[in-house]
Amino acid sequence: MPRFSANLGFLWADRPLLARIAAAGEAGFRAIELHYPYETPPQAVRDACAQTRVKLLGINTAIGSEPPDSGLAALPGREAEARARIEAALNYAVAAGGTAVHVMAGKVPSELRAKARQTLISNLRHAAGRAEALGLTILLEPINRRDMPDYFYDGVEDAAAIIAELDSPAVRLMFDCYHVGVMQGDVLTRLRTHLPIIGHIQFAAVPSRAEPDEGELNYPAIFAEIDRLGYAGWVGAEYRPRADTDDGLGWFRASRTR
């Protein structure tokens, strides 16, 4: 069975961040990942993780300051702000004891795609150089069009092409089974194909984005394939609980008895 991490952007979302970290540890998770933790001092996050004996994995870059910002790295004309957000995320991750930063690309209208790709490559080259020096990983995550229309990339092949062009050991793919399932399908084949560049895996039910015990994707088969492939990283529970987070952890409790 894979090693599961708790994404505290969604799990126990009714509690302050430090209480969420404690709840994850009490539930039996040994790793966590965060969305936008910047209102909490990084040392407080580091201390809470140490007290709870959980490992901090990744955080996201801040999405930006102008609605409807959903990331900045691919937005032409906002390079300075994008790089400032990347630098802030890298520094926070180091101070909090994290290992990775998901660089949010942002929403781009179709007529700006070509220019946006050049902008993204330039910003990611900068981010990769800094991440290599700090011993961190940069993660790229395609996001489905249903949840986030106009997001720069919505397919794993698009992100994989950028990773190949950058050719940096610090830049890896965030393979979210939920986004792949909604946008593309054929999750197991894509997982096998892109395993060499995957830096992190996430999951949620399709189409509901709830616990992985419902919907179109057969998660027992996906988790078994992750094991068979020899993936050694963490697999993040990034779903929206149907109700109380603890009440929906039956899938996780069952996995710990196998």
Question: What's residue 235's pLDDT?
Answer: 98
CA distance 177 to 194: 12
Question: What's residue 52's pLDDT?
Answer: 97
Three-state DSSP string of 129-168: HHHHHHCCEEEECCCCCCCCCCECCCCHHHHHHHHHHHCC
CA distance 46 to 17: 12
Question: What's residue 154's pLDDT?
Answer: 94
Tokens standing for residue 21: 């970290």
CB-count exposure of residue 145 (10 Å: 0-12, 13-18, 19+) = middle
State which residues of the chain have pLDDT below 70.
257-258
| Active site residues per annotation | 141, 238
Question: What's residue 64's pLDDT?
Answer: 85
Q: Which domains does the chain have, with CATH numbers?
A: 3-255 (3.20.20.150)
